[in-house]
Amino acid sequence: MVSYNCENQRSFFYVASCALNIAILAIAILGSKAVQASPAGVDLLPHNAVYRLGLNTSQEGAINSMKGRIVYDWTSDCKGWIVKSDLDMDIAYSNGKSIQMATRFSTWEAQDGSKFRFAVHQGDNVSGPSSFIGRAIRNEADNMVTVDITGSDHKTSVLNGVLFPTDFLVEIISEAKKGTQSINYPVFDGTTELEAFNVSAVMLPLEAKSDFPEMEGLAAWRVFLAYYDQKDGSTLPVQEQSLLLYENGVVTDIELDFGDFTVAGNLIEFESRKLPVCK
C-alpha cells in the first residue's frame, strides 16, 4: 500500500476518523423502546462508545509510542442521523519529535440520503488549528451529489453516485448477512472536504466474544476496508484498516494501517442510547 507520512495531520485524521465514521454510523430507529429494522433488514443500535488507541507495530522503530482515544456518539432528530466524534492522539517519534492532535467531527445525514452536512475542527502542535464546514446535496434525477465547503474559502465539486456513510454501513452488514464476502462503492463522508474514495470491503464471518452484553449472541465479521483515490485511478489503496463489526453496527476493535506503523483501537466504554419517538 501507499505509505502515509504520519506527520501529515490531515491524512492521519482521515484514517482514524473514517474507521469510526464508516463502521459505526447507524440508521435512525423509530421508537425509543426497541431497535427496528431498516429497509435492508439491518437492526442497528444507537450508542455512545469510547475507544482506547495504542501503537500496534512500527517498522524500524520509527514510532516510539502513541496513545489516544476516540469518543463516538450517535443519535437522531427523527429527520436525520447525528454523529459526533472526538479524536485525541499523542505520538512520540524515535528521533525525539512528538505531535499532539485533537479533532472534533460532526455530521447530520438525512434519512432518505438526499442531504449530508459535516463540520471538522482540528488542531495540533505542528500546523496549528484549522476547520471547515460543508454540505452535500443529491440530485434525485441523475444521482449526482454536489458538495460545497461554505465560508470565505468556498469550494465545490460534483460527485457521481456516491454513498453517504450510513448507506455504506447498511450495505456492508446487509450483504454480509447474505453471505457476500466483498463489495465496492464510492463513498463520501466529509472528512477530506470535497473528495470521495472508492472503498472495497471484505467481510469474513467470525465467532467473536465481547465483554459487553449488547453484543451477546450476535453475528460478527472481520471487515477489511481499502480506500482508493478516485482521481488518479491507482490500483494501490491509499489506506487500509480492519474492524470487528457486529450485526447491530457496533465495532469493538479496529486496526489502522499507516504503512510504516499500525494503530490498534479497543472498545473500553459502551452505552446504548434511547431515541425520541418519531411520528
144 found inside a domain: no
Q: What is the pLDDT of residue 240?
A: 87
88 found inside a domain: yes
45 found inside a domain: yes
Range of the domain at 36: 9-98+162-272
Greatest CA span in the chain, whole angstroms? 58
Q: What is the pLDDT of residue 40?
A: 61
pLDDT less than 50: residues of the chain: 1-37
Helix (H, G, I), strand (E, B) or coil at 14: helix
Q: What is the pLDDT of residue 172?
A: 93
Cell numbers standing for residue 225: 476496508
148 found inside a domain: no
119 found inside a domain: no
The position carrying cell 432518505 is 112
**What confidence tens digit (pLDDT) does each residue in 85-128 have?**
898 989 898 888 888 888 888 999 888 889 999 998 888 787 78
89 found inside a domain: yes
Q: What is the pLDDT of residue 71?
A: 92
Q: What is the pLDDT of residue 22?
A: 36
Q: Calculate the alpha carbon distances from 98 to 88, 123, 191 in Å.
A: 14, 14, 24
234 found inside a domain: yes
147 found inside a domain: no
Q: What is the pLDDT of residue 202?
A: 97
Nearest to 51 by CA among 68, 25, 69: 69
Q: What is the pLDDT of residue 258?
A: 74
Q: What is the pLDDT of residue 38?
A: 55
Structural domains counted in the chain? 1
Positions of E strands within 94-238: 98-110, 115-124, 130-138, 144-149, 155-160, 182-187, 197-206, 220-229
